[in-house]
Structure 1
Amino acid sequence: MTQFSPAEVIDKIHAGQSLASAELSGIELNNAQLDGGDFKSAYLRRLQAQHRSLRQANFSNATLTLADLSSSCGIGCQLTGAVLIQAQLADADFRQIHALGAKLYGAVCDRAIFSQADLQRADLRDIQGTAAQFQQAKLIEAQFDRAELREANFAAAQLSKASFQQSILIGSTFQAADLNHANLKSAILKAANLTSVNATSSSFQAADLTEASLRSSDLKWADFWNAVLVNTHFQEAALFEANLEFSNLSGANFTGADLRSANLEHAQLDGAIFDNAQVQEALFTDATGLTGDQQQWLRQHGALNVEVL
């Protein structure tokens, strides 16, 4: 493969010529406009292109490991199958990119914008993405395991079958997102906003959702086994056949929630609120912290195995 100089790369882009499969590792393009460039399958390891415009550029299947694209504008880029392992993407604008199956393992994405991006099946494990924006992004089957995503925004994103195992999502928002069959085992979601999400059959096993909001969310068949749900808001949520076994629900608010056939065995319920909740056939075997009045009310409304003081 021919090694091109920065000047030759710029000339080729301006002339509309392809740089597909070019060897460009370590090249510095900090003074270049790269809009519309064709870098398909190019080798761009350690590319330096900070504060650059990359609009509509094609990096499909390109190797961008350790590249620095921080503060660059890549709106509408093609990154399908691209490798951006440990790339620097902080403050970059990647709205509406097409990056199916892209590999961003360990990338730095703080404050980066991925709104309306297509990142289906992308590998985003171990990324650092404080305040990153993924509103309305397609993230079906994307992997975010062990990612640092404090204050990130996933509002209205498509996250069905996505994985966030052991991720830090403190203060993040998922309002109106689709989390159907998502995996959030051991994730830290303190004070997160999951209002009106669809999280049917999702797993929150051993997750920490202290003071999180799941108001009006569809949580049917969701698994909260051994989760920390202290002061969590479940008002008007659908929890039909949800598993809350061994969870800490101290101070949780289930006002108006649907808990029919839910499993609350061994749950800690000190200070929990069940006003106007539907509890028919919900299991409370060995649950602790209920007041005498709550026990009586639950039994009267069809809950099962409620101990009487």
Structure 2
Amino acid sequence: MSGDEKDKDAVTGIPAEVAWASTEARLDLGSPAADDIPLREISAPELEEVIERHGMFLRGQTGGARANLQGYDLKFRDLSGRELAGAELSGCSLRNANLEKCDLKTANLFACDMREAQLKGAILTRADLRGACMRGADLCDVTMQEADLRDGVLLKPDARGNLVAVTYNTVDADIAVANATRADMSGARLSNAFIVQTDLTDAKLRNTRFVRADLSHSNLTGADLEGADLTEATLTGAILHGTILYNVVFSGTDLTGADLAGAVFSNMNPDDPQFRLARMPRALDALGPEMREIMIQHDLWIKSNGKQGARASLERRDVSKQSLSRLNLAAANLECSVLTSCDLTGINLLMADLALSDLRSADLSNADLRGVTMRRANLMEARLTGVQAGPIQIVGAKTQRWPAHFDRARFDRAILRGGDFHQAEMSGAVFTGADLRDCNLRGAVLRDAEFDGADLRGADLSGADLRGALNLRLDD
């Protein structure tokens, strides 16, 4: 038997001094026991040689070798932008390491300590992250499609050579207090994961498995969870403003205190016990006495320049499938409101706040949207033909032009034909399949906007900021 074979465990095929396997229990990487586990040392030149040879291995060059850094101490190392796809990194410490834009596709990061690591823009597609600890890590813009973040356990051989767990603390894959804004974890397996107080704003989590995961007090604003499995998951106190929840499995999910204002469902039953414990928008009758009083006070507030009456507040109210046509709700607060399938034709929403509102299939034809705020609003399949959504001039100590804000709004399959959106702020907006024919988009800010399948024939984009725009096809 060769020396290499002798040093490997017969079951796992990896070095005998530390082996890793999947099980229901796993190592608590924040525990003293974990910090006491001996790690191998490697010098900077040695590490550089390993990485260079790994790059040669990936390119099929002679002399290349797959990187095997299992169980090494890589704390505080700068691995930004390096090629480590498929590398063996199980059990190593990457605590506080710089892995920004590092390619870690299919890498084995089983039970790695990645606390407070910088992973911004890193690629972790199909990586093995079972039992990994990423507490406090920066996961902004990371790609983790189909990654495996289930639980795991650290094993070591006993005196007889049998593998035994170092500790039996039942702490699972840990992403707590991490920044994962805009992260792509579509199809990832996060069963039993610990994701408490994590910022998942605008994250892509389609078809992700969160079975028994703990997402308590996490921020999922604007995240896309279509097809996700939240069976027996805990979302107590979580924020789900504007979150896409199409075809999500909620069996046994704990939504106590979860804020679902502006969230978009396809299969929700409000009579289910878990939804009754969540914070949901309250229904409002558009023809009822409460609405009449709101409009009387708002009209007085406008005419008296704010000296009398009260600003209309429909925040977190559900007015879906009703008519607010031609009402004057200028400067009103409609944040997180539900206006699905509403008749809003000719409505005055000048300077109104509709951030995170649900306006799917609403008809806003010929509405006054000058200076409106619709950040992260859902306008899928809405009708906005002939709207006025240019800037408004504010006269005060200093005259300024206030643009309409549609940052990260969704216009999938919406009809915006002939609308005036000049100088509008529309960064990150989604126009998939939208009708933008003859739109005035002069000087609009459309950075990182998505135009897949959008019809832009006759649209005026002169002076528009299109940096980072995706799938933009202009008619010649």
Q: Same fold, TM exceeding 0.5?
A: yes
In the other structure, the counterpart of 1:141 is 177
Cα 1:17–1:169 shift into 2, 3 Å = closer
Structure 1 pair 233–127 and aligned structure 2 pair: CA distance change class (3 A): farther
Using the alignment, how far apart are the partners of 1:74 and 1:17 within structure 2?
A: 12
Q: Please state if 1:198 is matched with 2:199.
A: no
What corresponds to 2:189 in structure 1?
Answer: 153
**Aligned partners of 2:150 and 2:192 also within 8 Å:** yes
Q: 2:106 is matched with which residue?
A: 91
Of stretches 231-240 and 134-143 in structure 1, the one that deviates more from structure 2 is 231-240
Q: Could you tell me how far 1:80 is from its partner in structure 2?
A: 0.5
Counterpart-to-counterpart distance in 2, 1:193 and 1:17: 39
State how 1:59-78 maps to structure 2 within 5 Å: 59-78=74-93
Relative to structure 1, the CA distance from residue 109 to residue 200 in structure 2 (aligned partners, 3 Å threshold; closer, same or farther) is same
* TM alignment of 1:1-309, pairs within 5 A: 18-20=41-43, 28-30=52-54, 51-136=66-151, 137-232=173-268, 237-245=273-281, 265-266=317-318, 268=320
Structure 1 residue 58, shift from structure 2 partner: 1.1
Name which one, 1 or 2, has greater alpha-carbon Rg: 2
TM-score normalized by the length of structure 2: 0.44
Greater share of strand = 2
**Residue 70 of structure 1: how far off its partner (Å):** 0.5
Measured after TM superposition, the shift of residue 84 of structure 1 is 0.2
Give per-residue Cα distances to partners, 1:63-111, cap 9 Å, x unaligned. 1001111011111011110000000000101011011101110001110
Q: Say whether the 8 Å CA contact 1:91–1:112 is kept in structure 2.
A: yes
Q: CA deviation at 1:238?
A: 2.6
Compute the displacement of 1:147 (Å). Answer: 1.0
- Contact 2:42/2:73 (CA < 8 Å) preserved in 1? no
8 Å CA contact 2:234, 2:253 repeated in 1: yes
8 Å CA contact 2:261–2:316 kept in 1: the answer is no
Distance 2:131 2:251 in 1: 25
Give the secondary-structure state (helix, strand or coil) at the position aligned to 1:28. Answer: helix
TM-score where L is the length of structure 1 = 0.66
Instruction: Report the residue type matching 1:190 in the other structure.
Output: E
Instruction: In structure 2, give the amino acid aligned to 1:191.
Output: G
CA distance in 2 between partners of 1:30 and 1:67 (Å): 10
Which residue identity is paired with 2:52?
E
Q: 1:245 and 1:18 mapped to 2: Cα distance? A: 56
SS class of match (1:29): helix
Q: How much has 1:143 moved relative to structure 2?
A: 1.6
Shift in alpha-carbon separation, 1:268–1:243, aligned structure 2, 3 A: farther
Q: Is the 8 A contact 2:40 2:73 kept in 1?
A: no
Is contact 1:213–1:233 with CA below 8 Å preserved after alignment?
Answer: no
* Contact 1:183–1:203 under 8 Å retained in 2: yes
In structure 2, C-alpha distance between the alignment counterparts of 1:127 and 1:169, rounded to whole Å: 12
Unpaired segments ≥5 residues, structure 1: 1-15, 33-48, 248-262, 270-285, 290-309
Sequence identity percentage: 25
- Using a 3 Å threshold, how does the CA distance of structure 1 residues 126 and 209 change in structure 2: closer, same or farther? same
Q: In structure 2, what is the Cα distance between the partners aligned to 1:197 and 1:232?
A: 16
Cα distance per residue 1:136-192 (max 9 Å; x no partner): 311111121101111111110001101110011111110100111011000000011
The whole-number CA distance in structure 2 between the counterparts of 1:287 and 1:84 is 43
TM-aligned CA deviation for residue 268 of structure 1: 5.0
